[in-house]
Amino acid sequence: MKLLRVQLACELRVLARNGEQLLLILGIPMLLLSFFGNVDILPTGDQSSINFLLPGIIALAIMSTAMVSLGIATGFERSYLVLKRLGATPLGVPRLVLAKALSVLLVEIVQVILLVGLAFLFGADLDALNVAKLILAIALGTLAFSGIGLSLAGRLRGEVNLAAQNALYLVLLLVGGIIFPLQDLPSWLQWVGRITPSGALTDVMRDVFSATATYGASSLVILLGWAIVAQLSAFKLFRWN
């Protein structure tokens, strides 16, 4: 336990000192929620902007932390030989992986608290919130996105990985129905968006917060599929050195 605690503290310290990562995992989601939640420019139908946005923004926050932040940090740690050096200490791979997983989980808890709190301040209706489903959605989303992030981080050079993670983040943000409803996209893009992990997680989150999932249980199945495939991919592709 002591070694895990030491490494977890180190992971959180490194994250707290990284301004770009903080902007990505907290700044951008909060900014998007604050801005689009308070201007009536989105085609959100019967829902208020803030009620429509909150599930997608939480999905975005999970993607930011589990895929981009974890992927970029791990990629650079691999490039800087930090993982190699830690590999020669008594820490061991399982504790290192667990420390990273816990740091992601802690950040996600903070993100959810801040985003839900912010949405509540902006008048979001949280009566239909299903906490058990929220935990399941976060778990599956984290598995899916961390698998994708680590697959890229485990094979690409630090700088290339950085660019790839950011590009993927942008694509998944745009086609995942996070800001705009998927139904308002061209039909072929709706299908693409629906089967992306961001699209599936956003739809599951809509079910969690307001029981308004567009595609019902199929999104949960797609997300589960991503979680399994991405983790297998990370296991296969990741290289420590």
Partner 1 sequence: MNTSASDGLSVSQLVIKYGEVTAVDHISFTAKPGRVTVILGPNGAGKTSTIEACEGFLSPTSGTIQVLGLNPFLQRKQLNRLMGIMLQDGGIYPSARVGELVQQYCALYGNGVDANALVARVGLQDVATTTYRRLSGGEKQRLSLALALAALPKIIFLDEPTSGIDVNGRDLVRSIIRELRDAGCCVIVATHELDEAERIADDVLVFHRGNVVASGTLHELRSGREEIRFRSHSLIDVHSLSTTLGYTVEQTRQSEFTIAGTSDSRVIVQLTDWAKANNVDIGDIGAGSQRLDDVFRRLTAEPTT
Q: State the residues that interact with partner 1 by CB under 8 A.
A: 2-3, 6-7, 9-10, 13-14, 17-18, 76-77, 80-82, 84-85, 87-92, 241
Shortest Cβ 78–partner 1 spacing (Å) = 11
Shortest Cβ 25–partner 1 spacing (Å) = 16
Which of 92/225 has CB closer to partner 1? 92
One DSSP character per residue, 49-78 reads HHHHHHHHHHHHHHHIIIIIIHHHHHHHHH
Q: What number of other Cβ atoms are within 10 A of residue 167's Cβ?
A: 10
Per-residue tokens: 163: 């660019």
Shortest Cβ 63–partner 1 spacing (Å) = 24
For residues 41 and 102, is the Cβ–Cβ distance under 8 A?
no
Shortest Cβ 167–partner 1 spacing (Å) = 24
Shortest Cβ 99–partner 1 spacing (Å) = 11
State in Å, rounded, how far the first CA of the chain is from the last one. Answer: 26
Which of 8/57 has CB closer to partner 1? 8
Task: Give 53's contacts (C-beta < 8 A, 6+ positions apart).
Answer: 32, 33, 36, 37, 42, 44, 119, 179
Separation of alpha carbons 126 and 215, rounded Å = 21
Which of 52/76 has CB closer to partner 1? 76
Separation of alpha carbons 91 and 196, rounded Å = 35
Which of 47/79 has CB closer to partner 1? 79
| Side-chain-facing half-sphere of 62: CA atoms under 13 Å | 32
Which of 9/126 has CB closer to partner 1? 9
Which of 85/157 has CB closer to partner 1? 85
Centroid of chain to Cα 159? 21
Shortest Cβ 89–partner 1 spacing (Å) = 5
